[in-house]
Structure 1
């Protein structure tokens, strides 16, 4: 009863609130048509709010597994609850992004602090991806009808870490540190996009055979926008950073200027990144159309913490649109970026209002792994009677 019930039912899904709030702060900072009071006022207010939310949700999570240690094992054994573990490094990555964007004028020490945080986020993202996927292979083994876009949750953190790493690399004072960071980002992007492509193919097969997901998790149809939108932003921003880091006249991407007569590696990576970003943006818009049609087909579906999964995927598609507008100097992408960004902000307000209302009543706190524990306890009691 009381606060213990809230702590006991406080699942990793709550870090999606940090993701949603963080992407809003980033979008308000980088709106195509912006005003100073938004980029230096409202955006920073959302940044501060996001830090507070991250601290509170982290403390609540620590309390949960400290007071109820058995819930950690139970959570890992339940795919519905363990998959959102990836929300923690993704939410943390949005804070790192805004640290570099808002506080870089504090000095190099802040940039290197963000760099250290980023390496921690990389380790955490890789560990989450490998561990959660292995737990699915080893213990959970869900049937095809149980596969949803939520299986992208442990994979997307690698792509998000890659994208934010390029932002940090662009601000690092040391060229060698920046190049090391950028190379790491390319590796993370390749791993994340490879896994995401496999999951999207499996998810499309599941939709073909079993139809739309249940009403309770129907909002998960928006999650494919995550790897496509963030991946498109990342691969394009890698090229922007490469233009700055890699010398103009060299046959080796990282060699000193004057080492060769013909190749400019940064230009090649920039053009290739823009091409791939355009392809991924188009694919993302197709998935967005599928998602909207899916919601329209069901019309009514229950509100839960999973609704925060609507904000971040659409938000990263907006960031991809924004950098395309900047690179191509395109009015179309600039207007689309503004539409996507404002839609995410309005969506954040709607979801935040629904969350606050249901938090007050307590109905939003629900942990699927508790049902697994109850069933195990009933089975244990039944065995004892026998």
Structure 2
């Protein structure tokens, strides 16, 4: 996800020391935008698992990425919990920061990729226990997503300072988390053994979708006005041009998976008359949102090409190229599975390859930044 944090300038004539910073400094400077790494890694694992063409060993690579992502999420959770434990005064400043607070939404979105992985990979490994784990984590994820989607906008309204000319698509991050949880709920529901539990998860997922997508569409409308009047944001926020694909792709995917799960779940709970409508709304609505995403994807490509001419400084914001492209990719693959139109499958395969290439580039740059200690910078502490 995008980030306004610029790397600390080195002293004149000196190059950054190619060594890891101390653990104490890593903890003190650790910020929630690191969870964007788990979002990008997790969505790549899920996309690779759905690659529409047979590739030997690809499923094993995807599962390995999922396991690696669990390790990353655990590590980041421990580091951020340590910051709140040992550097509480510095950590709480995030609530007043108009950009960094948005990244709280990355925590439940990163967790959602792990939940989906338990369904995609865990069932074959652990049987029904994987479903039980996924269900427990999903309720946690849904709760965190709702808290982020309500609390962060409330902070925007009461404690933070914002201006339209400074607005970027990072405003979407806390809002989109709920619809990501909704899509995960649509995947989880059919795996539950109890019909009433299935219905509860399905209805909760529709509620989560409604708490997110309409608001996200409103933010996108304001974003178009902002860019028309105030032009593009600084190059350090270049990846924000792709963030619009997040709510569009996830919103479409949520409609598709919820619509696919609804007929059987409704029928099992005496609501069979509504199943066909839910399926139809899911397919048509998902297709329309996916098509809307084509416009934003084309605009993001053009904006990125313009930034490339000016030079793109690396920061953690580059992970904003991964998750939005990833959810749009998974949505495309879902449409390929539902519609007898080969173009969706070809386009989906191309997107998976592009996503993997982006992940490799951003991942390599991140490892280098970690080694040099350049990425551990909390904007909330600047001036301390």
Q: Same fold (TM over 0.5)?
A: yes
Look up the match of 2:270. Answer: 255
Shift of 1:93: 0.5
Look up the match of 1:6. Answer: 26
Alpha-carbon distance between aligned partners in 2 of 1:69 and 1:334, rounded to the nearest angstrom:
49
Look up the match of 1:128. Answer: 148
Look up the match of 1:277. Answer: 286
Look up the match of 1:53. Answer: 72
Which residues of 2 match residues 23-38 of structure 1 at below 5 A?
A: 23-38=43-58
Select the residue among 63, 67, 86 that pairs with 2:86: 67
Select the residue among 277, 299, 308 that pairs with 1:290: 299
Contact 1:80–1:368 (Cα < 8 Å) also in 2:
no
Alpha-carbon distance between aligned partners in 2 of 1:37 and 1:267, rounded to the nearest angstrom:
38
Q: What is the TM-score when the length of structure 2 is the normalising length?
A: 0.91
Post-superposition, which runs of at least 4 consecutive aligned residues in structure 1 deviate over 3 A? none
Look up the match of 1:322. Answer: 333
Shift of 1:36: 5.0
Comparing 163-172 with 110-119, greater Cα deviation is found at 110-119
Look up the match of 2:380. Answer: 369
Question: For residues 142-174 of structure 1, what are the alpha-carbon distances to aligned partners after superposition, in whole Å with 9 as ceiling and x for unaligned?
Answer: 011111100000011101000001111021111
Q: Is structure 2 residue 306 aligned with structure 1 residue 308? A: no
Contact 2:195–2:269 (Cα < 8 Å) also in 1:
no
Contact 1:236–1:273 (Cα < 8 Å) also in 2:
yes
Alpha-carbon distance between aligned partners in 2 of 1:353 and 1:199, rounded to the nearest angstrom:
32
Look up the match of 1:197. Answer: 217
Shift of 1:256: 6.7
Query: What stretches of structure 2 of length at least 5 have no aligned partner?
Result: 1-20
Which residues of 2 match residues 149-228 of structure 1 at below 5 A?
A: 149-228=169-248
The alignment partner of 2:322 has SS state of helix
The alignment partner of 1:34 has SS state of coil
Select the residue among 351, 361, 366 that pairs with 1:350: 361
Contact 2:170–2:240 (Cα < 8 Å) also in 1:
yes
Select the residue among 225, 230, 239 that pairs with 2:250: 230
Contact 2:98–2:161 (Cα < 8 Å) also in 1:
no
Q: RMSD over aligned Cα, in angstroms?
A: 1.4
Contact 1:108–1:173 (Cα < 8 Å) also in 2:
no
Look up the match of 1:83. Answer: 102
Contact 1:93–1:164 (Cα < 8 Å) also in 2:
yes
The alignment partner of 2:174 has SS state of coil
Shift of 1:3: 2.6
Query: What stretches of structure 1 of length at least 5 have no aligned partner?
Result: 248-252, 258-262, 375-386
The alignment partner of 2:159 has SS state of helix
Which residues of 2 match residues 99-114 of structure 1 at below 5 A?
A: 99-105=118-124, 106-114=126-134
Q: 1:256 to 1:192 in 2, by over 3 A?
A: closer
